[in-house]
Amino acid sequence: MSKQAKVEIIAIGNELLLGDVLDTNTNWLCKRITGVGGQVTRAAMIRDDTVAIADEIRSALDRLPDLIITTGGLGPTGDDITHQAVAEAVARPLKLHAEALTLVKARYETLAEKGYIKDSALTEARKKMAYLPKGATAVANPVGTAPAAVLQIGVSTLVSLPGVPEEMKGIYEETLPPTLRAIFGDSYYQERAIIAHCGDESSLAPILAEVVDAHPEVYIKSRAKRYGPEVRILLTLSAAGDARDEVERRIQSALDALIAVLATAGFGVEDQPPD
Amino acid sequence: MSKQAKVEIIAIGNELLLGDVLDTNTNWLCKRITGVGGQVTRAAMIRDDTVAIADEIRSALDRLPDLIITTGGLGPTGDDITHQAVAEAVARPLKLHAEALTLVKARYETLAEKGYIKDSALTEARKKMAYLPKGATAVANPVGTAPAAVLQIGVSTLVSLPGVPEEMKGIYEETLPPTLRAIFGDSYYQERAIIAHCGDESSLAPILAEVVDAHPEVYIKSRAKRYGPEVRILLTLSAAGDARDEVERRIQSALDALIAVLATAGFGVEDQPPD
C-alpha cells in the first residue's frame, strides 16, 4: 500500500470563532478527502489575524503534510487577509497576479452583463483579490469572484479556498481536481458499518480491543447511537489502499471477526442502513 | 474595560477528521463564550492520538489563554485517551481519582436501577473514566457516565468535557458554571445586526473601513446573505465590556455611523430580524 496522503485544514474567520457561523466546510472537505483515501490529520479554526494565520501555516508546514487547505479570507474586504498571511508565512512577497486579475475581471464583467452589479470597473477592493503570494497559481472560481490559489512549498501543496461554502465546493469539484489528483492518485477507500445491541459502550471496550489489534490496517470506531434501555452502538470499519480488492478483503475480514466476537459476547448485530 | 478572557477549544476524535461526524460542540461553545464576553482565539480538531493531543495542549498552554476546553475522548473505550494526553502534556501522572470513581460508580448504579444496564459492577473499562491527571478536580456529568476534569496549569484553566453533545452541554450548563464564573466574571456582551442592500461586497469595503477605524472597540463583520440581482450583506456589530451602558453606547454609536455612511453611498438598510 502506498503512503496515505496527509492533509491539514485551516478554517479562517472571526465569524466562526464568535459562534456566528457553524463551519461546515471542514467536515465537507474531511469527507471528500477520506473518500479518496487521504487522511486529514488535523484541522484548525483561526481568527482574521495575519500573525495568527501565518503562525498556523508555518506550524502546519513544519509537519510536512502533502496538502494544506485554507478556507476563508479571500474576499474584497479589509479583514480578508489569507493571501497576505500565506505570503508572510512562506516569506514571499504578495504580487498582483496577471492570471488572477484576468479571472477577477471576467467575473465582474459577467456579473455586470447579467445585471447583478452596475459597474464592472476594477476598483481597489476588487483588484485586491488578485494579489497572490509570489509563485502561486490562480484557480478559477466558477461560483464567486475570488480565485483560489495553489502554492507548492517543499513537499506540501498549499491551497487557499474561499469560505463561502458554494464557492469552496465549486472550486474543489470543478477547477481543483487536477491539483487533487496529483496528490491523492487513484487510491481507494471503503467504509462499512454495523449496529451492536449492547448494555453500554463500556461492555464493548475489551471486545473491540481484540479485533482492533488483529486488524491494524482497518480503522474501527465505536459511537453510541441511541441511549436508554436499548443501547445501540454504531461500529464503523474503514480502510484505504491502492487496490480495491485488497481493501475490501481487509474490511470483510475485520467485519467477520467483529461479528463473531459480538455473537460470543451475546450481543445482537444489525446492518447500518445507508445514509 | 477589564481584560477579555481568552479561550482555546480542542475537539478530539477521529470521527471528526474522517468527516463522519460534524463537530457542532465547538460552535456551541463559541456562542456561549462570546455571550459572556469571552473571546475564543483558536480552535483545533485533533485525532485520537496521545502525542498529537499532548502537543496541541502544550502549544495552547504556551499562548497563556485563560481557559482551554477539550471535547471528546473521555469514554471507556481504548481510543478515549484525553486524560492520558493531558497528563503527558503537563508532565503529571494519571491517577485513580477517588471523587471521580464515586461519580462513575453512582452513575452505573443509577443506570442499573433504571434497568438501562444489567450490572453496575466497576469493570476496568468503567474504572478507566476515573483516572484523571494528578491535581485535577472531577466535575459531575449529569447526562452520561464520564466525569469532566478541571486542572489549573499556571494562568490557564484546562477543562476536559465529553464529546457527546448532550453530555458536553449538560456539564457546561449544570455543573461547570462555578468554574466558568471564576474565569468570565460578570462581563457583558451585545450584538446588533443590519442588512445593507448594495451591489456587491467589494463596494462595501471602503465604507466599512471608515467605520471600523473610528470604532476600534466594536467588532464589525460583513457577510453576504443573498446573491443574485439584489445582493444583501449582513453587517454584525458586537462589543464586550464590564458595563452594560458603556457597551450599548459604543455599539449604538458605531451603528449610527454605519447607517449614515451607507445612506451617503446610496445603499438601503434594513434591520436584521432576530433569529
Instruction: Inform me whether the pLDDT recorded for A229 exceeds 70.
Output: no
Q: What pLDDT shows up at residue A199?
A: 66
Q: What pLDDT shows up at residue B1?
A: 40
| Residues of chain B contacting A163 with CB distance shorter than 8 Å | none
| Residues of chain A contacting B47 with CB distance shorter than 8 Å | 41-42
Q: What pLDDT shows up at residue A227?
A: 54
CB-CB under 8 Å, B31 with A76: no
Instruction: Inform me whether the pLDDT recorded for A274 exceeds 70.
Output: no
Instruction: Inform me whether the pLDDT recorded for A68 exceeds 90.
Output: yes
- Whether domain B188-271 has CATH 3.30.70.1130: the reply is yes
Closest-CA distance of chain B to residue A22, Å = 6
Contact A85, B163 (CB under 8 A): no
Q: What pLDDT shows up at residue A126?
A: 93
CB-CB under 8 Å, A26 with B125: no
Question: Mutate which of B77, B105, B213 to disrupt the A interface (most A C-beta within 10 Å)?
Answer: B77
Which of A20, A43, A118 lies at the smallest CB-CB distance from B236?
A: A20
| Residues of chain A contacting B118 with CB distance shorter than 8 Å | 199
CB-CB under 8 Å, A42 with B46: yes
CB-CB under 8 Å, B78 with A208: yes
Closest-CA distance of chain B to residue A203, Å = 7
Question: Exposure of B86 by Cβ count < 10 A (0-12 exposed, 13-18 middle, 19+ buried)?
Answer: buried
pLDDT 10s digits, B116-151: 788 889 999 899 999 999 999 999 999 989 999 999
Contact A7, A155 (CB under 8 A): no
Question: Mutate which of B17, B62, B122, B203 to disrupt the A interface (most A C-beta within 10 Å)?
Answer: B17
Q: What pLDDT shows up at residue A228?
A: 53
| Residues of chain B contacting A24 with CB distance shorter than 8 Å | 22
Residue of A nearest to B48 (CA): A41
Mean pLDDT of B8-28: 96
Torsion of CA A106, A90, A162, A105, to 10 degrees: -10
The strand pairing partners of B138, in sequence order, are: B149
Percent pLDDT > 90 in chain A is 59
Q: What pLDDT shows up at residue A159?
A: 98
Q: What pLDDT shows up at residue A4?
A: 85
- More confident of the two residues B85 and A231: B85
Mean pLDDT of A119-148: 94
B93 Rama sector, left if φ>0, alpha if ψ -120 to 50, beta otherwise: beta
CB-CB under 8 Å, B145 with A202: yes
Nearest Cα neighbor of A129 from B85, B117, B202 is B202
| Residues of chain B contacting A14 with CB distance shorter than 8 Å | 219, 221
CB-CB under 8 Å, B123 with A203: yes
| Residues of chain B contacting A33 with CB distance shorter than 8 Å | 19
Closest-CA distance of chain A to residue B245, Å = 22
Which of A169-183, A211-225, B214-228 is predicted with the least confidence, judged by mean pLDDT? B214-228
Instruction: Inform me whether the pLDDT recorded for A65 exceeds 90.
Output: yes
Mean pLDDT of A187-207: 79
Which of A30, A114, A222 lies at the smallest CB-CB distance from B18?
A: A30
CB-CB under 8 Å, B222 with A77: yes
pLDDT 10s digits, B55-96: 999 999 999 999 999 999 999 888 899 999 999 999 999 999
Provide the mean pLDDT of chain B: 89
Mean pLDDT of A128-149: 95
Q: What's the rounded Cα separation, in Å, for the pair A275 and A272?
A: 9
Closest-CA distance of chain B to residue A168, Å = 14
Sign of the alpha-carbon dihedral angle for A181, A183, A186, A192: negative
pLDDT 10s digits, A17-61: 999 899 999 999 999 999 888 999 999 999 999 999 999 999 999
Percent pLDDT > 90 in chain B is 59
Fold of A6-184: Molybdenum Cofactor Biosythetic Enzyme; Chain A (3.40.980)
* Cα A68 to Cα A7, A10, A41, A221, B11, distances in angstroms: 6, 8, 10, 25, 19
Give a three-class secondary structure readout of chain B. Answer: CCCCCEEEEEEECHHHHCCCCCCCHHHHHHHHHHHCCCEEEEEEEECCCHHHHHHHHHHHHHCCCCEEEEECCCCCCCCCCHHHHHHHHCCCCEEECHHHHHHHHHHHHHHHHCCCCCCCCCCHHHHHHHEEECCCEEECCCCCCCCEEEEEECCEEEEEECCCHHHHHHHHHHHCHHHHHHHHCCCEEEEEEEEEECCCHHHHHHHHHHHHHHCCCCEEEEEEEECCCCCEEEEEEEEEECCHHHHHHHHHHHHHHHHHHHHHCCCEEEECCCC
Interface predicted TM-score (ipTM) = 0.82
The 8-class DSSP code of residue A237 comes to E
Provide the mean pLDDT of chain A: 89
Q: What pLDDT shows up at residue B220?
A: 84
CB-CB under 8 Å, B238 with A205: no
Residue of B nearest to A77 (CA): B205
- Domain boundaries along the sequence of chain B: 6-184, 188-271
CB-CB under 8 Å, A28 with B19: yes
* Cα B242 to Cα A57, B5, B6, distances in angstroms: 35, 12, 15
Which of B45, B75, B111 lies at the smallest CB-CB distance from A43?
A: B45
Which of B42, B205, B219 lies at the smallest CB-CB distance from A44?
A: B42
- Cell 498571511: give the residue: A85
Question: Mutate which of A24, A48, A77 to disrupt the B interface (most B C-beta within 10 Å)?
Answer: A77
| Residues of chain A contacting B125 with CB distance shorter than 8 Å | 202-203, 205-206
pLDDT 10s digits, A248-261: 899 899 999 989 98
CB-CB under 8 Å, A29 with B41: no
pTM for this prediction? 0.83
Which of A30, A164, A204 lies at the smallest CB-CB distance from B77?
A: A204
CB-CB under 8 Å, A19 with B30: yes
Contact A19, A57 (CB under 8 A): no
